[in-house]
């Protein structure tokens, strides 16, 4: 089965000529293996569209993988990311009988015993799950989400194939190490298996709902835990307008400027106030409530993917953004070093100059024409030239910001995200060090301090007792290092003496054999003195290595 699946994948890759996505400087063996791709005509499509269509043809696993690739603009070119963002879960539904059987097995009761009504036609059919509507016995409208049967086995097989391809690309192409294909597939494995656990999604939804309870900004539907299992999720059914349905939003006279600004506010509130953000906020997961069009409220669904930052990353990210806003490139560079995002040996002056070179042309435009997310992306890409490691939590954040900003500009093209973000970040940093918040943080950590405080005298006493032993160990270590250095020095001298002696012996032997033609011919066969010396040095190097 795996072999035939591999053949199918190769056939689809060849049909869309995905070999065009590989670098030109492939090793000869790799070019030889891909030669059969040239038997297929080159489609009249962009490279991003070819990749998107290949993912769609190969089924839901590759669709999800394409969606994951679209979240890695730090590794994937912009034109491909833009095309992969259009991937939609347009998957044929599985039968109602199978859906109903899974629900009944998981809940341990017949559908008719749990629900007052149940719609046999699916509301939506996605890559890994399917959704039907129903009504509870108490009259509450709900949706039932079920994981596709047998999807785990299919995912495991496809991921194994993807890993093999990724390892081959990483080991056999010159750009393989830089592109991190194995890392991308491993990220995909973690992401998609997390999505298969609907209890995890339910827990994320409950947390997000608590964070925005009674908020005019965002509504999160309630999870009904009594009917939720690892492969079945029952939650409140929401009624709203899809956020991209502009005719419907205009028909109810929605305040689009307010809607766009509230989207930005929701993002920053999740990232900086709650430190728990919905990381899959593409248009299919966002709706707009109909109750108050002039003060519109968002509705969010599908909380399978969420993100969070450490307190340090929160702080440094906020200061980085403010420093960029002020064009203080020196501080941006210093913050990258202090946060550990780039190695400490990187010269701050060089990083500052690189950031200024990239950002200055951008900031010459009016602020409302500047993409906030693209500036952040440019900053990270510039820093990667200075060996900045990929920060997964920041990439996820950046992808979410790209979605939010793109959606905001679609709703209200004149959206000035900077005008919204700047005062928010200023206020957040000010509040972070407000005495009231510092006191709250002190009270939060005080129990841990009180628990450890009685142990402090013993720890100090034990440390003082160990000081003489530590001093002795340090002396022994220093003595051992000194001896090693001396031995290494003597060994080097012996090598040098042996090398000189060996070369000298070879040379004099050659010179002395000038009077004995037979011996010279037998030993050296017309070799020049320089060749003999090189041979001698090579033999000596082999001897030293042993």
Cβ(2)–Cβ(161) under 8 Å? yes
Burial (CB < 10 A; 0-12, 13-18, 19+), residue 538, is exposed
Cβ(80)–Cβ(51) under 8 Å? yes
Provide the angle, in degrees to the nearest 10, between the axes of the packed helices 456-512 and 517-524.
140
Tokens 């032997």 -> residue: 509
| Sign of the CA dihedral with 183 first, then 47, 388, and 173 last | positive
280 annotated active-site: yes
Where helices occur in 85-197 by DSSP H, the ranges are 96-107, 111-114, 151-172, 176-179, 181-195
In a 13 Å sphere around the CA of 481, the CA atoms on its Cβ side amount to 6
Question: What does the CA dihedral 89, 372, 249, 218 come to, rounded to 10 degrees?
Answer: 80
d(CA 263, CA 277) in angstroms, rounded, equals 12
Beta strand 232-236 pairing with 298-300 = unpaired
d(CA 326, CA 421) in angstroms, rounded, equals 13
State in Å, rounded, how far the first CA of the chain is from the last one: 49
Catalytic residue among 74, 158, 280, 416: 280
Say how many C-beta atoms besides its own lie within 10 A of residue 377's C-beta. 20
In DSSP terms, 241 is beta-bridged to 288
Q: Which residues carry out catalysis?
A: 280
């Amino acid at each position: 089965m795996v072999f035939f699946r591999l053949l199918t994948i190769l056939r689809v890759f060849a049909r869309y000529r995905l070999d065009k996505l590989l670098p030109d400087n492939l090793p000869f063996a790799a070019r030889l293996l891909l030669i059969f791709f040239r038997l297929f005509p080159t489609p009249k499509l962009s490279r991003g569209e070819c990749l998107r269509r290949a993912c769609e043809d190969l089924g839901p696993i590759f669709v999800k993988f394409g969606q994951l690739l679209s979240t890695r603009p730090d590794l994937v070119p912009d034109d491909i990311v833009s095309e992969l963002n259009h991937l939609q879960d347009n998957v044929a539904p599985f039968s109602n009988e199978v859906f109903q059987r899974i629900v009944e097995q998981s809940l341990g009761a017949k559908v008719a015993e749990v629900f007052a009504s149940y719609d046999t036609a699916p509301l939506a059919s996605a890559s890994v799950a399917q959704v039907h509507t129903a009504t509870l016995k108490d009259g509450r409208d709900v949706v039932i989400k079920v994981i596709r049967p047998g999807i785990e086995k299919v995912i495991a097989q496809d991921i194994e194939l993807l890993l093999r391809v990724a390892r081959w690309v990483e080991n056999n192409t010159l750009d393989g190490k830089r592109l991190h294909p194995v890392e991308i597939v491993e990220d995909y494995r973690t992401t998609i298996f997390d999505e298969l656990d609907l209890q995890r999604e339910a827990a994320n939804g409950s947390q997000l709902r608590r964070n925005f309870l009674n908020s005019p900004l965002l509504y999160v539907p309630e999870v009904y835990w009594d009917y939720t299992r690892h492969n079945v999720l029952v939650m409140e059914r929401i009624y709203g307008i899809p956020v991209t349905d502009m005719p419907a939003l205009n028909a109810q006279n929605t305040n689009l400027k307010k809607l766009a600004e509230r989207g930005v506010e929701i993002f920053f509130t999740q990232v900086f106030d709650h430190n728990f953000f919905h990381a899959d906020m593409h248009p299919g997961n966002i709706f707009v409530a109909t109750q108050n069009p002039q003060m519109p409220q968002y509705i969010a669904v599908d909380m399978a993917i969420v993100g969070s930052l450490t307190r340090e990353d929160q702080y440094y990210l906020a200061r980085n953004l403010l420093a960029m806003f002020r064009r203080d490139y020196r501080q941006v560079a210093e913050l990258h070093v202090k946060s550990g995002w780039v190695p400490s040996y990187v010269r701050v002056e060089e990083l500052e100059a690189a950031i200024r070179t990239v950002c200055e042309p951008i900031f010459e435009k009016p602020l409302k024409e500047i993409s906030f997310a693209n500036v952040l992306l440019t900053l990270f890409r510039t820093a990667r030239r200075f060996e900045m490691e990929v920060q997964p939590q920041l990439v996820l954040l950046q992808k979410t910001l790209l979605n939010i900003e793109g959606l905001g500009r679609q709703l209200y093209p004149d959206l000035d995200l900077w005008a919204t973000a700047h005062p928010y970040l200023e206020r957040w940093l000010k509040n972070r060090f407000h005495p009231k918040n510092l006191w709250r943080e002190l009270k939060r950590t005080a129990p841990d301090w009180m628990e450890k405080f009685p142990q402090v005298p013993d720890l100090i006493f034990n440390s003082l007792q160990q000081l003489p032993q530590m001093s002795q160990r340090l002396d022994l270590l220093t003595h051992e290092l000194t001896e090693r250095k001396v031995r290494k020095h003597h060994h080097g001298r012996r090598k040098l003496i042996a090398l000189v002696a060996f070369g000298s012996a070879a040379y004099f032997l050659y010179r002395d054999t000038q009077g004995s033609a037979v011996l010279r011919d037998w030993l050296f066969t017309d070799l020049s003195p320089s060749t003999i010396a090189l041979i001698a040095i090579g033999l000596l190097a082999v001897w030293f290595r042993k």
